[in-house]
């Protein structure tokens, strides 16, 4: 049982790291509107800060924020699609 938890924790950390990497590339992208970049920075900060709760709580909070963000009509479709992929990764994080 402990072995399965260690594997799950490792997979969760890999998903989180991949997600953070994707968001990091967007938060520095000057082609995105500033409002969208700022929201992505907020999501990025939530995922990085361990004080914001366990990994699954941070992922759930980020999913909620990303859901709202992807509804922005000014967002380009390829960015929206990538963010949906991020949401999918975050939704697979479980404790």
Q: What CATH code is carried by the domain that includes residue 85?
A: 1.20.1440.50
Rounded to two decimals, the pTM is 0.88
Q: Which residues contact 12 (CB under 8 A, 6 or more apart)?
A: 55, 56, 93, 94, 95
22-43 pLDDT, tens digit per residue, is: 999 998 889 888 999 999 999 9
Question: Which residue range forms the structural domain that includes residue 26?
Answer: 2-91
Token pair of 48 as six digits = 């990085």
45-62 pLDDT, tens digit per residue, is: 999 998 988 999 999 999
Going by C-alpha positions, the residue among 4, 19, 3 that lies closest to residue 93 is: 19
Give the chain's domain count: 1
Token pair of 49 as six digits = 């800060």
């Amino acid at each position: 049982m402990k072995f399965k938890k260690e594997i799950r924790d490792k997979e969760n950390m890999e998903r989180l790291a991949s997600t953070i990497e994707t968001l990091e590339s967007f938060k520095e992208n000057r082609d995105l509107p500033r409002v969208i970049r700022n929201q992505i920075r907020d999501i990025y900060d939530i995922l990085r800060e361990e004080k914001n709760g366990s990994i699954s709580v941070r992922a759930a909070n980020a999913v909620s924020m990303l859901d709202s963000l992807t509804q922005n009509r000014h967002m380009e479709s390829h960015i929206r699609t990538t963010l949906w992929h991020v949401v999918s990764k975050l939704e697979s994080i479980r404790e």
